[in-house]
């Protein structure tokens, strides 16, 4: 995807840059205002699509997310909220505390955190997806000439693999964790509250698919040798580390 410009903008240095410019960039990329005026309206549209498509297999679930253009609006509105921007500082503090240099983000949404981390000098890898949000990420990547590695399938090792508000959306969280554990001895993640409830397949418009409680996820991490780390901040993300493995 090419971005035609007379010149590329100067590489920004302030941590908040990619958050502060997100909406203006989204409107430019979109060719006009977003379809949904706020996060709540976009989330409702996601929930309605989920009800219509009603995915019952892992393949159907992947197709739902690939087809769900409404998630672009959800991600943009969510990323410009103050709480989301605060995550930038928490990521930087956590990575500094554990001397992290190379990171991989899985399930990037519109990729704001990865853009910020690469801007701040981290060696960043992301996994590719096929949705509009990822196309927007590629657009910004080229617009600002940010050095980020994009892979179709994870290979190699990283100081940290992180996934924010992703695990509650995957078909099998334990298999997902097993896959992430192959690539790092440090996993950092957040999860939205509202894990799967058979009586309420959507929570606030978001479909959740996991029948596993967060306690089962924690126990599985412990079985893999990971231990929860104490972070020097209020309301920290979950960080689990284990001794180095081959």
Give this prediction's pTM: 0.89
Which residues have CB under 8 Å from 7's CB, separation 6+?
none
**Tens of pLDDT along 136-191?**
999 999 999 999 999 999 999 999 999 998 888 888 889 999 999 999 999 999 88
8 CB burial (10 A radius; 0-12, 13-18, 19+): exposed
- DSSP-based three-state secondary structure for 26: helix
How would you classify the pairing of strands 227-228 and 149-151?
unpaired
Going by pLDDT thresholds of 50, 70 and 90, the confidence category of residue 55 is confident
Q: How do 227-228 and 238-241 pair as beta strands?
A: antiparallel
């Amino acid at each position: 995807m090419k971005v035609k410009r007379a010149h590329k903008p100067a590489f920004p240095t302030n941590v908040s840059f990619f958050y502060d410019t997100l909406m203006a960039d989204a409107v430019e990329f979109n060719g006009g205002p977003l379809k949904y005026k706020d996060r709540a309206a976009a989330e409702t549209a996601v929930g309605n699509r989920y009800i219509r498509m009603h995915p019952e297999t892992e393949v159907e679930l992947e197709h739902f997310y690939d087809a769900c253009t409404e998630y672009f609006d959800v991600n943009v509105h969510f990323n410009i909220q103050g709480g989301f921007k605060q995550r930038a500082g928490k990521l930087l503090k956590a990575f500094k505390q554990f001397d992290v240099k190379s990171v991989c983000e899985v399930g990037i949404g519109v990729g704001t955190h990865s853009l910020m981390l690469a801007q701040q000098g981290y060696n960043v890898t992301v996994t590719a997806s096929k949705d509009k949000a990822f196309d927007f990420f590629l657009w910004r990547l080229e617009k600002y000439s940010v050095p980020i590695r994009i892979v179709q399938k994870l290979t190699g090792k990283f100081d940290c693999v992180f996934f924010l508000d992703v695990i509650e959306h995957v078909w099998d969280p334990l298999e997902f964790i097993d896959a992430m554990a192959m690539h790092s001895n440090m996993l950092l993640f957040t999860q939205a509250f509202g894990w799967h409830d058979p009586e309420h397949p959507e929570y606030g418009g978001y479909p959740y698919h996991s029948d596993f409680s967060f306690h089962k996820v924690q126990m599985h991490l412990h079985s893999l040798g990971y231990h929860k780390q104490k972070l020097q901040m209020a309301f920290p993300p979950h960080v689990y580390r284990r001794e180095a493995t081959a």
